[in-house]
Amino acid sequence: MNRIVDASLPAEEVVADPIADVDSLERVAHPRIPLPPDLFAPERTNSAGFNFADGQAVDALMRDAGRASQQPWSAAPIVSVGKVAAGAAQPLFNPARIDDQIGSVANANAAIVEAAIGAAANAQEDWDAMGGEKRAQVLERAAVLFEEHTPAFIARCVREAGKTLPDALGEVREAVDFLRYYAARARRDFSHEVALPGPTGERNLLRLRGKGVFGCISPWNFPLAIYTGQVAAALAAGNAVVAKPAEQTPLTAAYATGLLLQAGVPPEVLQFVPGEGAEVGGALTRDPRLAGIVFTGSTDTARLIERSLAQRPGAVGTLIAETGGLNVMLADSSALAEQLVLDVVNSGFNSAGQRCSALRILLVQEEIAPRVQTLLAGCMDEIRIGDPAALSTDVGPVIDDEALKMLEAHAAGITARARWHHRAPCRVTGGRFFAPLAVEIDSLDAMKKEVFGPIVHVLKYRARDLDAVVRAVNALGYGLTLGIHTRIDGLAQRVARELRIGNVYINRNMIGAVVGVQPFGGNGLSGTGPKAGGPHYLHRMANEQTITTNTSAIGGNAGLLSLAAR
């Protein structure tokens, strides 16, 4: 941009092909810039990316994914208690093509859950005694298997959850990153006792041990990544697991479970119980043998789980919950409108707005609001809605009929009284497609709860009211993700400091947190903490034990005597 306005430069130099310039240079990697696989070295290997601009690679991926889709998929309870009487198989359909049956699921029941918890409880101590190093090796073998089966996972994420191809690849990468990150944390924190400072004549050691059996209840919007992250974390910390996937997406989770078992997780340590929330989830949370629950989903369901855990006899259970949010992006008048709009579209409409981190409310300073709205409408007109199996698709379907009905009802109600709104064109049929919507609202009072889908609510604010706006956002009670667009760093840091938000993104989109780089999780109505993919996550799933030994009781203070000998 600087060169364009430099009148002293010849036009030929300004418009020169930058690719040709790079090709003319000797290609030698800078020794201090790590290659992509080594980005997180020496702790762990980075997950493998994919170049969607490489036509041959895309063709190969599509062929492999097609082969993985040739046979109908199935899911059923995977428990180590012999034969189980699961429910009758129920068909599952592609949300983008509702006449496309992709497989079936036989659900567990309360009796199966009870047996699975018993088997897991009996196996947990031996798994814990293996130590962090051996558990880490199992998880790292699983990461290798996951990458080897990337096309099969992509096929399932696309056809079962309606993920676009790039989003499906992101699922696989995040799952692999979770496996390797938690393996590294297990090796670091669960393989050795830590010596604590203390007086001479005494030795004090601290060690971490698994709590027992954890129930892992995962959502449909990340059927592989969150499912794997929950399970891998609990296993890494020395716990046994009873895992319940979302009702809408058990096929992807079942495939992941099979690979975890193939990698060496003992069958007794990982039990898989697909089923309905009321029966299977209820049986999990009521059982007093359960040490805790890891849950990702709605705030209302998290409250139900909290009450169920509290009403059980026995030890107080651990609840790790990551719930939704009324996620806000704030843009002041210094924001670059073009960049802002691209980040609004990515944050609000990617994955059909079905991310916990997705943008729900755009707060834009009134001076730039008209231009932002014009650019946003134009950008939305270019969104391609359709079958996520096509690489050209930007936005796929919403997950089920209930979600579609809720979104259409909200859209009809809120646009009826709006001063401005714009909707992306949608010309595809045969699936559960909802055209992304941007709509202006008069105040934050219009947002009573999260609307889980591709709708961005636009609210203008005056510069002098910024402090009041910040207080109003805090008053919403949610605290998951926040976007800030400004070229005034002091303002960005002040807003980030004053808003009680778990993940803050400045001058970029606000989705796609990377494991170990942007640990993810909120507070308030958005979750209990700790952050998934962060350094404190495993500790919440562990018990701490301190061992104090009076070393002088053997006949003298050997430590003191050794000092004298020196």
Picking from 128, 121, 118, 127, the residue whose alpha carbon sits closest to that of residue 82 is 118
Indicate the Cα dihedral angle 487, 493, 495, 500, nearest 10°.
Answer: 140
What is the pLDDT, as a whole number, of residue 4? 75
- What pLDDT is attached to residue 26? 66
Which amino acid type is present at position 441? I
CA 320/CA 532 separation, integer angstroms: 10
**Whole-number Å distance between alpha carbons of 258 and 117:** 19
Starting at the earlier edge strand, list the strands of the sheet with 202-210: 194-196, 202-210, 542-550
Q: What is the pLDDT of residue 85?
A: 77
CA dihedral of 96, 101, 106, 107, whole degrees rounded to 10:
20
- Residue 398 in tokens: 């919403």
Backbone angles phi, psi at 164, to 5 degrees: -70, 165
Residue 94, pLDDT score: 98
Which tokens is 228 given?
A: 């794997």
The answer to whether 123 and 269 are in contact (CB under 8 A) is yes
Q: Is the pLDDT of residue 335 over 70?
A: yes
Over residues 88-134, the pLDDT tens digits come to 999 999 999 999 999 999 999 999 999 999 999 999 999 999 999 99
CB neighbours of residue 58 within 10 Å: 15
Tokens for 70?
A: 């040739």
Plot region of 236 (φ>0 → left; ψ -120 to 50 → alpha; else → beta): alpha
Q: Is the pLDDT reported for residue 565 higher than 70? A: no
Q: Say if strands 503-506 and 361-365 run parallel, antiparallel, or are unpaired.
A: unpaired
Name all domains of the chain by residue range, CATH numbers in brackets: 55-79+93-323+531-544 (3.40.605.10), 328-519 (3.40.309.10)
Res 28 pLDDT > 90: no
Across residues 347-375, what is the average pLDDT?
A: 98
Q: Which of 157, 171, 247, 356 is catalytic?
A: 356
Answer yes or no: 356 catalytic: yes
User: Across residues 246-265, what is the average pLDDT?
Assistant: 98
pLDDT at residue 84, as a whole number: 74
Q: Is the pLDDT of residue 566 over 90?
A: no
How many Å is the Cα radius of gyration of the chain? 26
Catalytic annotation present for 148: no
Beta strands 542-550; 481-485: pairing state: unpaired
| Average pLDDT rounded to a whole number, residues 254-279 | 97
Q: What is the pLDDT of residues 441-462, one digit of tens each?
A: 999 999 989 999 999 999 999 9
Helix or strand or coil: residue 92? strand
Count the neighbouring beta carbons within 10 Å of the beta carbon of residue 128: 23
SS3 (DSSP) at 39: coil
Q: What is the pTM of this model?
A: 0.94
Decide if pLDDT at 554 tops 90: no
Residue 135 in 3-state DSSP? helix
For 539, other C-beta atoms within 10 Å of its C-beta total 15
**Predicted confidence band at 81 (pLDDT cuts at 50, 70, 90)?**
confident
Q: What is the pLDDT of residues 45-56, one digit of tens each?
A: 999 999 999 999
The residue annotated as part of the active site, out of 322, 379, 440, 450, is 322
